[in-house]
Amino acid sequence: MDEQPFIFTPDSDDSEWLNWAIKDTSSFNASLGKLLVRKNHVSNDDEHALVQMTPQQRHSNFGGVMHGGAMLGFIDVALFGALHILHDKWAAYAVTVDLQTQFTGAVKIGHIIEAKIYITKETRSLYFMRGTITQNNESVAAFTSLVKKLPQYKKRPI
């Protein structure tokens, strides 16, 4: 557990964002394409992560919008980008145990979607998280999640 599976580098178009790439390009995460992540600190009561992707044709369904499964995949992967940037670089070594999602709109292909993610609570073994997905300032999904730290990860002090 000494090496991170992700590479974080400043984005060449906007230095406030980090490119978040997976080293193993054969894994599912790589199928989402370019992901950007950043911490957004509005106030002491409002610190959250923003994670962006641009859905491509390969993420579409027969209706020509983003497939729900691709959206769930993005949300799941974005949780770990948020954990990394907000709290702990070892968060990649955890697992999603619950993800509740409400779809509120269709996602157009080729237009950026953005996840806004909060850590609402942390215990010794769990992260409680919530967030929203927007596209062009319109809500397209809301979600809550539980992410469990793996046993070897829990041994590290919180």
The pLDDT tens digits for 60-103 are: 999 999 999 999 999 999 999 999 888 766 666 789 999 999 99
Q: What local confidence, expressed as pLDDT, does residue 43 receive? A: 67
β-pairing, 6-10 vs 94-103, is unpaired
- pTM, entire model: 0.86
Q: How many CB atoms lie within 10 A of CB 1?
A: 11
Q: What local confidence, expressed as pLDDT, does residue 86 receive? A: 87
Please give the domain boundaries of the chain with CATH numbers for all domains.
6-154 (3.10.129.10)
Write down how long the chain is.
158
Q: Within the chain, which residues score under 50 in pLDDT?
A: 1, 154-158
Q: What local confidence, expressed as pLDDT, does residue 110 receive? A: 97
Q: What local confidence, expressed as pLDDT, does residue 158 receive? A: 42
